[in-house]
Amino acid sequence: MTADPRRTEAVHPAHADLDRLDLRALVDAFVDDQQDAVRAVQAAAPALTGAVGAALPRLRAGGRLVYAGAGTSGRLGVLDATELTPTFSWPPERAVPLIAGGEGAIRHAVEGAEDSVQAGQDDVRAAGVGRDDVLLALAASGTTPYVLGAIHAARAAGALTVGIANNPDTPLLAAVDCPVLLDTGPEVISGSTRLKAGTAQKIALNTLSSALMVQLGKVYGNLMVDMRASNEKLQGRALRLVVHATGADEAAARTALAQADGHVKTAVVMLLLGVDASHAEARLRAAGGQARAALERP
């Protein structure tokens, strides 16, 4: 049998006796191996920087982040897309997760779903992907047919394509505009890319989407000010953020948040400039949603 050239499919040379380790050694083996995920993303920082820079003009023009993946990669895409709304008030319709096998594949494996190039193409077309959109294509192997189909359809529609894979010299990385290699190598449990390959993908997605949100004005300093307090936990967080950003006391911060309909960024601008909610909102609109720019405008 011909050896599989993908490093993620190789047998890890250091863990042939994994099933014979005592409990502490077993846990250490898994934890220690995760360090390779961090190193892989560090090595990919220039590629991630390029991807963020290429994506920004599309998103500023009203485009969407569209994620495409299968299995673990697909679920990580769903997670990243879902968390952008509560964290940054990113409109949910502008974060579109596509996973091989559909929504049912989030909780249950859909056998064979990832093997269809046509399914990937169909899902991208059904999502109406266009020129202002950014496709984030995820596949540890770098060879998943569903994801390759999604890339093909997205490029045909004029979208920017960013590819994240854990094996070098793979079709996915060759097919996209912005290739990001996360070279994590063999897994402790051979072939189980839900381990450090998945960790590296999660770090890369966190980095990419968070950097985009900062550049799009969703953060003031290092505070997540573009959020709305929609439950008790978030109300407490919003209050603390407003107090920290403005130096106001809790009573003033609470009043401003109430007048700002729970929107932290509006409350911050209100308090720092001494204006009401409507004036704060107008300044933010004029500044493209950038809190710092709204505060510095004459």
2 domain-assigned: no
72 domain-assigned: yes
227 domain-assigned: no
Span 125-159, pLDDT tens digits = 999 999 999 999 999 999 999 999 999 999 999 99
When the pLDDT of each residue in the chain is averaged and rounded to a whole number, the result is 93
**What is the identity of the amino acid at 202?**
K
State whether 35 and 109 are in the same domain: yes
Q: CATH number, domain at 156? A: 3.40.50.10490
**Is residue 60 within 8 Å of 216, Cβ to Cβ?**
yes
220 domain-assigned: no
Q: How far apart are CA 86 and CA 89, in angstroms?
A: 6
- Find the catalytic residue in 9, 83, 103, 296: 83
Q: How far apart are CA 224 and CA 122, in angstroms?
A: 36
State whether 39 and 104 are in the same domain: yes
State whether 188 and 263 are in the same domain: no
State whether 186 and 265 are in the same domain: no
State whether 39 and 178 are in the same domain: yes
State whether 140 and 84 are in the same domain: yes
- Of 144, 146, 98, 139, nearest to 119 by C-alpha is 146
- Find the catalytic residue in 9, 93, 111, 114: 114
Q: How far apart are CA 5 and CA 140, in angstroms?
A: 13
Distances (CA, A) of 277 to 250, 255, 256, 265: 18, 11, 8, 10
Query: Which of helix, strand or coil describes residue 3?
Result: coil
State whether 85 and 197 are in the same domain: yes
Angle at alpha carbon of residue 287, lines to 272 and 49, rounded to 5°: 105
Which phi and psi angles does 205 have, rounded to 5°?
-65, -45
Residue owning tokens 């993303």: 41
Q: How far apart are CA 91 and CA 45, in angstroms?
A: 27
Q: CATH number, domain at 268? A: 1.10.8.1080
State whether 269 and 209 are in the same domain: no
Beta strands in the chain (DSSP E): 65-69, 95-99, 134-139, 160-165, 178-181
Q: How many domains does the chain have?
A: 2
Instruction: Evaluate if residue 1 carries a pLDDT over 60.
Output: no
Q: How far apart are CA 130 and CA 135, in angstroms?
A: 10
Instruction: Evaluate if residue 166 carries a pLDDT over 90.
Output: yes
State whether 184 and 245 are in the same domain: no
State whether 130 and 172 are in the same domain: yes
> How sure is the predictor about 223, in pLDDT bands with cuts at 50, 70 and 90?
very high
225 domain-assigned: no
Query: Which residue, of 165, 185, 215, is where some domain finishes?
Result: 215
State whether 108 and 194 are in the same domain: yes
> How sure is the predictor about 2, in pLDDT bands with cuts at 50, 70 and 90?
low
Known catalytic membership, residue 103: no
221 domain-assigned: no
Domain around 255: 232-296
Which phi and psi angles does 90 have, rounded to 5°?
-70, 130
Known catalytic membership, residue 83: yes
Residue owning tokens 């920082």: 45
Query: Which residue, of 152, 185, 215, is where some domain finishes?
Result: 215
DSSP state at residue 287: T
> How sure is the predictor about 201, in pLDDT bands with cuts at 50, 70 and 90?
very high
131 domain-assigned: yes
Q: According to the model, what pLDDT value does residue 47 have? A: 98
260 domain-assigned: yes
Instruction: Evaluate if residue 16 carries a pLDDT over 90.
Output: no
Q: What percent of the chain has pLDDT over 70?
A: 98
State whether 115 and 19 are in the same domain: yes
Q: According to the model, what pLDDT value does residue 3 have? A: 67
- Of 24, 25, 2, 5, nearest to 15 by C-alpha is 25
According to DSSP H, which parts of 4-108 are helical? 23-33, 35-43, 45-60, 71-88
Q: According to the model, what pLDDT value does residue 142 have? A: 95
**Is residue 181 within 8 Å of 165, Cβ to Cβ?**
yes
